[in-house]
């Protein structure tokens, strides 16, 4: 319940209640102190006067704590209040030990108060100080039943002070318990609100994820369409395909082109592939190497490859790059490639099984 784990709204509410608590408790402390001082004068009892001074001093500390809270210094206010309660309780106990039963609760109340506001390290030190004060109170109550200062108070008056002190302690305990209960309720409310917000965020994330998945699927379809448009394959005749290549060829497009052409050749049992590079404006070493690798891969499938549309600029570039095109069949246009194919019987339909048997017999 320390302030380092409180939401901002809960901390503000706690500061408001702390100001209310100190504003109510501080006048009561001054009032009790004045009453003890008046009784000390009337009864001429030094011990009661010492207790009155301690209570008035505690009231002054509470006034300082209230000022600190208004300045937003909650930690300083709680430390000052706790020190004032512990020190004042020890002084009163040393002066009037008959209040032992009531004052032994003071360290516990201080620990409960610090638990609501202090961070871990100050809270540990406060708990240690409270435990030490409890041991001192128990020792003083048993070893010095008459106290350090002789008291002239009558027994009936001591009983009245004990009842009054017990009543004040009871009110203080009830106030702290209410304070602590309000804190727990606010923390639970904040956790429920945070849980609902997390659930809403989770639902939103699920919806966003679904939208992203749909977008990714659409992008994949678009990429496949773009890839198909980048490397179209046109069937000119049975066993003959034309692949016009347009635009710049990079490594990604070269791989895509090679894979698509190999797939088309394998699926269509292509005998002749015409690669038309009329639309390729520039050629560099990587483009030339990618083109040669594609041609070699197509040849491995038993497909004849003809390159058409080599411009004068591309031809000069290939020559300057030292690319060996002697093993590559080239033509000026796809029409010329078809003419050569017709002369080499590539356009003729494949022979049937009976015709192949007759040719073999002959």
Cβ count near 100 (within 10 Å): 19
User: Which residues of the chain form CATH 3.30.750.24?
Assistant: 234-350
Residue 334 neighbours by CB under 8 Å, 6+ apart: 236, 242, 274, 276, 308, 309
Question: Does residue 143 have a pLDDT over 80?
Answer: no
pLDDT digits (tens, 9 = 90+) for 242-278: 888 887 777 777 888 888 889 889 888 888 999 888 8
Pick the CATH number of 234-350 from 2.60.200.20, 3.90.79.10, 3.40.1620.10, 3.30.750.24: 3.30.750.24
End-to-end CA distance of the chain: 104
Q: Check the CA dihedral 136-138-143-148 and report its sign.
A: positive
CB-side neighbour CA atoms (13 Å) of 306: 23
Question: Does residue 104 have a pLDDT over 70?
Answer: no
**Lowest-confidence region among 117-121, 182-186, 192-196:** 182-186
What tokens does 355 get?
């015709």
Please give the pLDDT value at position 351. Answer: 43
Residue 182 neighbours by CB under 8 Å, 6+ apart: 13, 17
Residue with the larger pLDDT of the pair 95 and 296: 296
361: Cα separation from own chain's centroid:
82
Please give the pLDDT value at position 180. Answer: 66
Question: Does residue 354 have a pLDDT over 50?
Answer: no
Distance CA(336)–CA(308), nearest Å, equals 9
357 falls in which pLDDT band (50, 70, 90)? very low
Return phi, psi of residue 283, to 5°: -135, 130
Alpha helix segments (H runs only) across the chain: 8-43, 46-70, 74-95, 100-103, 106-117, 120-143, 155-230, 251-268, 285-300, 312-321, 334-343, 353-361
pLDDT digits (tens, 9 = 90+) for 301-317: 889 999 998 888 888 88
What tokens does 285 get?
């070493």
Residue with the larger pLDDT of the pair 202 and 115: 202
Distance CA(184)–CA(242), nearest Å, equals 78
Radius of gyration of the CA atoms of the chain, in A: 48
Question: Does residue 150 have a pLDDT over 70?
Answer: no
Asked if 7 and 190 touch (Cβ cutoff 8 Å), the reply is: yes
Please give the pLDDT value at position 43. Answer: 81
Residue with the larger pLDDT of the pair 344 and 342: 342
DSSP three-state, residue 273: strand
Buried b (16+ CB within 10 A) or exposed e, 134-144: bebbeebbeee
DSSP three-state, residue 284: coil
Cβ count near 51 (within 10 Å): 28
């Amino acid at each position: 319940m320390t302030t380092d784990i409180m939401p901002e709204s809960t901390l503000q509410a706690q500061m408001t209640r702390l100001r209310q608590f100190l504003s109510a408790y501080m006048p009561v402390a001054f009032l009790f102190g004045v009453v003890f001082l008046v009784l000390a004068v009337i009864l001429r009892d030094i011990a009661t006067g010492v207790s009155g001074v301690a209570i008035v001093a505690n009231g002054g500390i509470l006034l300082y704590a209230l000022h600190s809270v208004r300045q937003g210094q909650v930690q300083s206010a709680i430390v000052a209040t706790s020190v004032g309660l512990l020190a004042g309780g020890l002084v009163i106990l040393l002066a009037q030990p008959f209040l032992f039963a009531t004052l032994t609760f003071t360290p516990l109340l201080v620990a409960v108060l610090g638990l609501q506001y202090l961070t871990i390290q100050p809270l540990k030190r406060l708990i240690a100080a409270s435990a030490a004060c409890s041991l001192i109170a128990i020792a003083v109550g048993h070893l010095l039943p008459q106290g350090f200062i002789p008291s002239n108070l009558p027994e009936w008056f001591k009983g009245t002070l004990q009842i009054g002190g017990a009543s004040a302690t009871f009110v203080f305990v009830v106030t702290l318990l209410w304070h602590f209960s309000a804190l727990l309720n606010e923390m639970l409310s904040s956790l429920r609100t945070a849980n609902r917000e997390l659930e809403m965020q989770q639902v939103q994330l699920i919806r966003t994820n679904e939208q992203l998945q749909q977008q990714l699927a659409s992008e994949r379809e678009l990429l496949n369409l773009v890839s198909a448009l980048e490397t179209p394959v046109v069937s000119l005749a049975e066993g003959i395909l034309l692949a016009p290549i347009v635009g710049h060829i990079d490594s990604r497009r070269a791989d895509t082109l090679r894979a698509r052409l190999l797939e088309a050749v394998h699926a269509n049992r292509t005998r002749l592939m015409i690669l038309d590079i009329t639309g390729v404006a520039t050629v560099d070493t990587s483009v030339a190497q990618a083109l040669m690798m594609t041609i070699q891969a197509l040849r491995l499938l038993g497909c004849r490859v003809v390159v058409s549309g080599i411009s004068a600029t591309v031809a000069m570039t290939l020559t300057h790059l030292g690319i060996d095109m002697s093993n590559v069949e080239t033509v000026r246009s796809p029409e010329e490639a078809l003419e050569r194919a017709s002369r080499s019987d590539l356009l003729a339909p494949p022979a049937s099984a009976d015709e192949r048997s007759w040719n073999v017999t002959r």
